[in-house]
Structure 1
Amino acid sequence: MSDLEPPHPRTERKQNVLTRLRQDKDLWVATASAHDEPCLVPLSFVWDVQDGRIDKGTLLLCTRRNNPTARNLTPNGEVRISLGHTRDVVLIEGTAEKVEGSDLPKASADAFATKLAWDPRDQSAWVYLRITLRSVKAWREVNELPERVLMHDGEWLV
């Protein structure tokens, strides 16, 4: 007999992901160097909504420009991100681009500063990273693994 709750519908999991993107403050960012040396670090973030639609947005992070995370994102910008713990996983794959504080739209920089109580836009040692989501997977237990893919090629499937 199984102790697992029934699988949550994919629509509910999508809403849970969107809630976490709005409310969580930190996530794990995984990158690799040109020599395939992995790097995994926690960074704070804001879900930067586009066109007023909560399901359309990018992740906005910030790190020192000389940190391995920032250096590893060139030339192709591939990144993997994780939210949650092992019994409530959100796994995101995407493409990152570096954005200088002076080039960041004011609304985005203000949202970052407000949520995180920190405003690095005028500090030259720091660079923003804008992550465009390509894939989102979410699951809580093994019974949700078969339908864990919620986004593919940048499009929500639910």
Structure 2
Amino acid sequence: MTTQEPARSREERRRDTLARLAADDDAWVATASPDGQPWLMPLSFVWDGASLLMCTRRSNPTARNVTPRGGVVVTLGHTRDVVHVEGPAEVIEGSALATESADAFAAKLDWDPRDRPSWVYLRITPRVVKAWREENELKDRLIMADGRWLD
């Protein structure tokens, strides 16, 4: 028999989510091509308190699928501890990324792509965040809407 933990409050989920965003290194990133072909790829990331910063080759579908009107979905965790982020993404050339952001990326991930012209950064700004562990947290999984944390 499986014992289920009590559902966390929205504040607990927000706190746990912020801790995961700060501590985790990798996430699944989902995009879609202009004709609707889905693409799912794991990428490393840095959380700066307002957005996720990732890096990929310019020629990879993940980067090619980022458009001004297109959204990106990022998911952290396994199926019983999910953080689900939805939001727009922008492609940033390595030379155009603020030094502070590029330094943070390099320091956390022990990799610095700034001198690799075939690589670009992706900045994903959350508009929606959901977090849940078990079925008892599904009803109140929404913790951010329209880019604002919910109380």
Match of 1:80 in 2: 73
Match of 2:121 in 1: 128
**Equivalent in 76, 91, 99 of residue 106 of structure 1:** 99
- Scaled by the length of structure 1, the TM-score of the pair is 0.92
Alpha-carbon deviation of 1:131? 0.5
Match of 1:60 in 2: 53
Match of 1:69 in 2: 62
**Equivalent in 133, 139, 143 of residue 140 of structure 1:** 133
Q: Give the conservation status (yes or no) of the 8 Å contact 1:77–1:97.
A: no
- Scaled by the length of structure 2, the TM-score of the pair is 0.97
RMSD of aligned alpha carbons = 1.2
For 1:28-85, what per-residue CA distance to the aligned partner results, in whole angstroms no more than 9, with x for missing partners? 0000001110000000000023xxxxxxx11000000000000001242310010000
- 1:44 aligns to 2:37 (yes or no): no
Match of 2:14 in 1: 14
How many residues align structurally? 151
Q: Which runs of 5+ in 2 are unaligned?
A: none
Alpha-carbon deviation of 1:121? 1.1
Q: Which runs of 5+ in 1 are unaligned?
A: 50-56
Q: How many angstroms apart in 1 are the aligned matches of 2:44 and 2:128? A: 20
Q: When you count strand as a share of all residues, which structure comes out higher?
A: 1
**Distance change (3 Å), C-alpha of 1:27 and 1:2:** closer
Q: Which amino acid aligns with 2:40?
A: L
Q: Give the conservation status (yes or no) of the 8 Å contact 2:68–2:90.
A: no
- Map 1:85-100; keep pairs closer than 5 Å: 85-100=78-93
2:115 is paired with a residue of what secondary structure? Answer: coil
Q: Which amino acid aligns with 1:124?
A: P
Q: How many angstroms apart in 2 are the aligned matches of 1:74 and 1:15? A: 31
Match of 1:53 in 2: none
Q: Give the conservation status (yes or no) of the 8 Å contact 2:73–2:87.
A: yes
